[in-house]
Amino acid sequence: VNTFTCTCAPGYTGTLCDVEIDECTPNPCQHGGVCTDGVATYTCACADAYTGAQCQEDINDCSPNPCVNGACTDGINTFTCACDAGFSGARCDVNIPDCTPGACGAHGTCVDGINAFTCDCHAGYTGTACDVNIDECDPNPCQNGGACTDGSNAFTCVCAPGYSGDTCATDIDNCTPNP
């Protein structure tokens, strides 16, 4: 007689169930998370870079991938990008210029690509660096035995006697005026 036993509600202890249990002792929050005690519960305020009920999960800084042209490596509240060939920058979003002065010589315009370039050759020139003059005399456009002289995107014909015109195609009428 004069004895009793209390069955405490969750979160309480003590002979009279008047002591609230501190669920934050020891601190269940990982990675520097701050614990806030409740009745039969707790919450964790996680430090930057962590998530989860106990701040146990590293937030994946690579999801979604911040690297525009490259592979992402996750860190703790950070990431690094390994850029694809031809790109640079913290997020691999800068195309490295591939055109260098003189890449296409004096007869072409350099067109930048990705880790490469091409040359847009001026009329009359060809080759990867626009350094080959196209021979407009091959095949010979001069007719009737005319001699061809190559120029830059042009040619001239020296016509055989009795012929005239840009390609020596006109037969000179030796009877005009009547001799």
Digit-coded pLDDT (tens) for 27-43? 999 999 999 999 999 99
Strands (E), 10-154: 12-13, 19-20, 34-37, 42-45, 50-51, 57-58, 70-74, 79-83, 87-88, 94-95, 108-112, 117-121, 125-126, 132-133, 147-150
According to the model, what pLDDT value does residue 128 have? 94
Which pLDDT band, with edges at 50, 70 and 90, does 130 fall under? very high
The reported pTM is 0.59
Is residue 71 predicted with pLDDT exceeding 90? Answer: yes
pLDDT digits (tens, 9 = 90+) for 132-142: 999 999 999 99
Which pLDDT band, with edges at 50, 70 and 90, does 3 fall under? confident
